[in-house]
Amino acid sequence: MKVFNTLSGTKEEFFSQGKEVTMYVCGVTVYDHCHIGHAMSYIVFDVVRRYLEFKGYKVKHIQNFTDIDDKIINRAQEVGISSSELAEKYIAEYFEDMDALNIQRAHVYPRATKEIPKMIEIIDGLIKKGHAYVSRGSVYFRVKSFPDYGKLSHQSLDDMLARASAEGGEKEFPLDFALWKAAKPGEPWWASPWGEGRPGWHIECSAMALKYLGGSIDIHGGGQDLIFPHHENEIAQSESFTGTVPFVRYWLHNGLLQFGEEKMSKSLGNLITVKDALKSYSPDALRLFVLSSHYRSPLTYTEEALRAADAGVERLRQAVRREEEGIAKGELDAEPFRRRFIDCMDDDFNTAQAVAVLFELAREINKARAEGVGVARAQETLAELAGVLGLTLQEPKKPALDAAPLVELLIEVRNELRQAKAWGLADRIRARLLELGVVLEDTAKGTIWRRAR
């Protein structure tokens, strides 16, 4: 199995360090609804985990929640609640959305506000080693102390320096980044050796990865927009603190979801929430939409693409539906399709090609069934491989039936029966409706009905 490593810029043979694969995926900043750009990333890494487990690996999956941050503080102040209340609201909503999309839960979901002691430990260690310094109650990482800075994003210091800002002159060097931020009036804070404040964004992921997965982890995942500066800074502070290189053996980054010409994001205000998307399309359709493209490629949201995915899911469902078979003329061999599926997924989790194999198998199942060839085992294979991609192929729930028109029709029929003096049948309709919770009342203005309490 080969995976594309952002660090080397090449596909590399995948080997785990121990008995289990350690995987850290950057989580959401919980200040608003999850959108389908988030869903894209978590579907991708859900499939990475599912496929590794399909291959026989044991996976330890950690994913954080950023529950303290400028955006959270600002939104909480806007709506008049505490930062922690706001974070709890959107953490609960995150789980609802991801559960609906059949995304497996990580083994641990550490939160930034619960991991402050580990962050302080790392920051203190970096200061003692000369990799960080205190300035006006804040602490900054000294980028020049880490010669490999820029190795993940493949940039030179000069290139990065041209786009940097000095942030009010508190830094020794413009590229230095905050590990600890001094408290501002009216904001949440925690005690530290450097005064009251809160952690910077980058340090939280290093602290959680090191605490729960150790000094060197197998896979670190996230969107391509996190490569710089977030993941670049993670490498610098983690390797400087532990002295262990590499901090991460395989960096995997998914492409970004586009809405027209721009990335879908909260800050741009062009997002479609997961909840809104699920009002129109099934979870399987949303997953198939994402997985029909290679995970490293950008993906453009269109209603046409979602409708095509919905139709594609129905073709797969049709292929796995059980039908009564007569005497079969042999059995369809699905093993070549299984091997091709595995070959596709072994090539850097190429779900686009793997999905194509599923549709080929579905077509062969339908063809064989029409010719009287047995397909039960092939259907099991199709369902199993679809499951590796997190597709349930469950039949969509039928919408609740509006009973009112049927009740009105039965009342009309009953009235006609009464006019024909067919009292027995009229009474049977009334009695059966009562059993179903519908009460009929004959009044001077006609028959009315209500639901029994």
Predicted pLDDT of residue 13: 98
Is 453 a residue whose pLDDT tops 70? no
Is 14 a residue whose pLDDT tops 80? yes
Predicted pLDDT of residue 287: 98
Question: Mean pLDDT over residues 92-111, rounded?
Answer: 98
Predicted pLDDT of residue 265: 62
For residues 299 and 255, what is the distance between their CA atoms, to the nearest angstrom? 7
pLDDT-derived band of residue 451, with 50, 70 and 90 as boundaries? confident
For residues 258 and 252, what is the distance between their CA atoms, to the nearest angstrom? 19
Q: Which residue has the higher pLDDT, 365 or 432?
A: 365
pLDDT-derived band of residue 434, with 50, 70 and 90 as boundaries? confident
Predicted pLDDT of residue 165: 66
Q: What is the CA radius of gyration of the chain?
A: 29
Least confident of 93-102, 261-270, 283-292: 261-270
The two beta strands, 299-300 and 257-259, are: parallel
Q: Give the H/E segment covering residue 254.
A: strand 248-254
Is 399 a residue whose pLDDT tops 60? no
Is 325 a residue whose pLDDT tops 90? no
pLDDT-derived band of residue 168, with 50, 70 and 90 as boundaries? low
CATH topology of domain 2-263: Rossmann fold (3.40.50)
pLDDT-derived band of residue 401, with 50, 70 and 90 as boundaries? low
Predicted pLDDT of residue 267: 61
Question: Mean pLDDT over residues 84-88, rounded?
Answer: 97
Task: Tell me whether residue 76 is exposed, middle or buried, using C-beta atoms within 10 angstroms of its C-beta: 0 to 12, 13 to 18, 19 or more.
Answer: buried
Domain definitions of the chain by residue range: 2-263, 306-388, 404-451
Is 328 a residue whose pLDDT tops 80? no
The pLDDT tens digits of the residues spanning 183-237 come to 999 999 999 999 999 999 999 999 999 999 999 999 999 999 999 999 999 999 9
What's the mean per-residue pLDDT of the chain? 93
- Determine the residue type at 273: T
In order of 109, 335, 408, the CA distances from 412 in angstroms are 59, 59, 6
Predicted pLDDT of residue 442: 85
Positive/negative CA dihedral, 303, 40, 233, 124: positive
Is 90 a residue whose pLDDT tops 60? yes
Positive/negative CA dihedral, 255, 43, 226, 301: positive
In order of 1, 67, 182, 282, 283, the CA distances from 289 in angstroms are 24, 30, 44, 11, 10
Contact between 213 and 242 (Cβ < 8 Å) = no
DSSP state letters, 383-402:
HHHHHHTT---PPPPPPPP-
For residues 288 and 178, what is the distance between their CA atoms, to the nearest angstrom? 40
Taking the mean position of all CA atoms in its chain, how far away is CA 315? 24
Predicted pLDDT of residue 445: 79
Residue at token pair 């590229």: 175
Predicted pLDDT of residue 262: 66
Residues 306-388, CATH architecture: Up-down Bundle (1.20)
pLDDT-derived band of residue 77, with 50, 70 and 90 as boundaries? very high
Predicted pLDDT of residue 431: 85
Q: Of all residues in the chain, what percent are helix, strand and coil, respectively (each to 5)? A: 45, 20, 35
